[in-house]
Amino acid sequence: MKGQENRSKPGALIVATLFFTVGLSPTIAVAQSAFYQGKTVTIIQGRGPGGTGDLRVKALFPFLQKYIPGNPTIVSQYVAGAGGRIAANQMYNRVRPDGLTIGNPGAGLLTQAVLDATGVEYDFNKFIYLGSLDSTVHWLFITRKEAGLTTVEKLRSASGLRIGAQSVGHTIYNTGRLFAWVLGLKEPKFVVGYAAPELDVALLQGEVDAKAGLAASVLRLEQRLIDYHAIIDVPKGNKDSHFARLPELESFARSDLDRQLVALQRAFRVTGTPFILPPGTPKDRVEVLQEAFRKTFKDPEFAREYTKVVNDEPSPLFAEQLESFIKEVPRDAEVIEVYKKLLGADPLPPR
């Protein structure tokens, strides 16, 4: 064993070996402890406060503070809007690459770039990736009970269904549009401008009729006030025990194109909501932060705290896993062209 092999070595060398075992040389660890001590690390979130995404990030705070040498203060800055594009643009173009600002723009980071969305001012290939908290996810399509849309047949016969979301380009908006397309809804209307908690209130009070939502956030709603219609499991086959009997969206597909669109949605989402650093961040600080994320993800106490705060289990990706998934995102031109139309601000295209 390594410990036995090192017993005859001088004490200083044993200390050095221990440093390397956790991935940091003594020089880097001491230097970065001095750098981060007394500092504040800001996490720029591409969302407003209070939703599931915000809760995920907040669950990280005490563990990142513990595992970043020097134990800096961790705070959030909320830069909501445009499905995370504003936050991603800020990380790419305006944030100092000094290791004191981490980005978490949201799940639309890759989607919007691959689809060449208007307003994207970043190259996602040049960001430095730290990891992701949630490589598995369950999206549900729900309606308010008072709307009386208890079956998919009733859902399809209703005209002008009001579907709520945060903003055009937000993952919840994009997912709601995909549900509406594959389910074959009749002239749905998309109502945006809500923060996550406001959207729940709008649904229950009848300001909107339906929404797409994450399983964890939907479970926080009063269950007797909503109806469930379909689910997208990411990755496919990864069931949420609460909704194991709910039909997968593919079961409503009318064509191979429908199935490919759902598959593309999964491919975008399996990367989760990546944590990023701007290009040019010094390598030693990148290594320190990546190691802090690794240690956090491996900490059993983090899994317990995350589950308690988020009402869901973490499914983290380390930096190298995340980078591998990003390289594998499919980019079929025909499917992407239809997907782009689905995710825009115009009415859904005719089928």
- For 269, residues 6+ apart whose C-beta sits below 8 A from its C-beta are 107, 137, 171, 234
What pLDDT score was predicted for residue 21? 43
The enclosing H or E element of 227 equals strand 226-234
Beta carbons within 10 angstroms of residue 242's beta carbon: 15
Model confidence at 169, pLDDT cuts 50, 70, 90, reads confident
Model confidence at 284: pLDDT above 90: yes
Alpha carbons 189 and 159: distance in angstroms, whole number: 9
The residue count for the chain: 351
- Secondary structure of residue 260 in the 3-state scheme: helix
Alpha carbons 179 and 176: distance in angstroms, whole number: 5
Do 37-135+271-327 and 137-269 show the same overall fold?
yes
Model confidence at 348: pLDDT above 90: yes
Residue labelled with tokens 């983290």: 316
What pLDDT score was predicted for residue 327? 86
DSSP state of 332: -
Q: At the topology level of CATH, where does 137-269 sit?
A: D-Maltodextrin-Binding Protein; domain 2 (3.40.190)
Average model confidence (pLDDT) for the chain?
Answer: 90
Percent of the chain having pLDDT more than 90?
74
* Residues 287 and 28 sit within 8 Å (Cβ to Cβ): yes
Q: What residue spans define the domains of the chain? A: 37-135+271-327, 137-269
What pLDDT score was predicted for residue 24? 55
Model confidence at 7: pLDDT above 70: no
Alpha carbons 104 and 76: distance in angstroms, whole number: 10
CATH number of 37-135+271-327: 3.40.190.150
